[in-house]
Structure 1
């Protein structure tokens, strides 16, 4: 029964992603995306996947953002079993006074778990969609959580304070960044000297993981992109069912 329910959830989220991509594509009068000055000189524009935006970085097509309509899937009961969030939090070696940012926080699935472990620290919930932040705010106020701050991100900046973050978490979201170079630089500025980025992405190397290819990444591609922007891979913790848990630090 659980396997059947998991399949239904995955089919639903695939449908949402396809509808979102279709709607966005329908709005574009030209097959090429509108370019944004110097920022877009770093990218290639060409046709690609139906679920992509036609914009490529270092050989990888950028995916459409999953809309807030998929919020229920983010909170699905099966998520712990499929992603083993408990193991992820152990991987992060969270300290009580850590300052942590969850970029692409979505409905807040991870930030509330993090907030419970950093009584002396702080967690920033960053998302580009106001509907996601509204959902987090409602739950935050209901639970009376005081060590959490909500930040409206932008396409080229996480809008985080500089030199204050110990750890940045990104769960299945980096591959959707329209301007990955600007975002990595923004994160670099926010991180302390010895800060860490925890990059979680569905493993492209495993065809059995039931996620669209464009919403997966392999380790070599992630390393290529982060090394090009001043980071190096510290380790890839291989203990999650479906995802890479790649830890990047500044060069």
Structure 2
């Protein structure tokens, strides 16, 4: 009977470095992305992206054919965030920065990259401060990231109520007014409404106006309701009736 073979491992660091050298390297690349509002070109390798991420597997399937296809346009994701996503896919590690981590987190959620999402969440919690917390709260509400939402609310309460002696709902009101609730899917809006009954941070009227947009299927259903997608928000099927440009 043949003795089972033994799996041995080479040096992980050199392997990661070699793969990282292929990041945004036109040599041997077979796909080009045009990303962000600046339309920056980013080069990549279809086989690597497809085996690491189901989103790219669907996007870069056989329909593109062999050879270098036409550029794939992803205008809603900033170039820095997209490059961070590719860095993680190529090297299984990524250097995160405070100024762009929320955009990387958004991309990770949209692309279904659970491990990268968790790494971003851990980083956000570590660097959370008064300048970042409102935007982090908006991302948490938009994508239903409960633990991050609770952490942001606790941060706001700890750092404002003791100094200003104002209720959390009052302190959070400026960012809450900017939430694009109409962009949420009905199921997400229902979950948010249920949570808001337990922790009333969002005015009921604001949720009602978002439901009006869904019911009447037009973005101007409620005058003054924020319906425009922010930069970095990928379109969803129910966004088609809004018919409004990015803000």
TM-score by length of 2: 0.32
- Compare CA radii of gyration and give the structure with the larger one: 2
Normalized per residue, which structure has more helix? 2
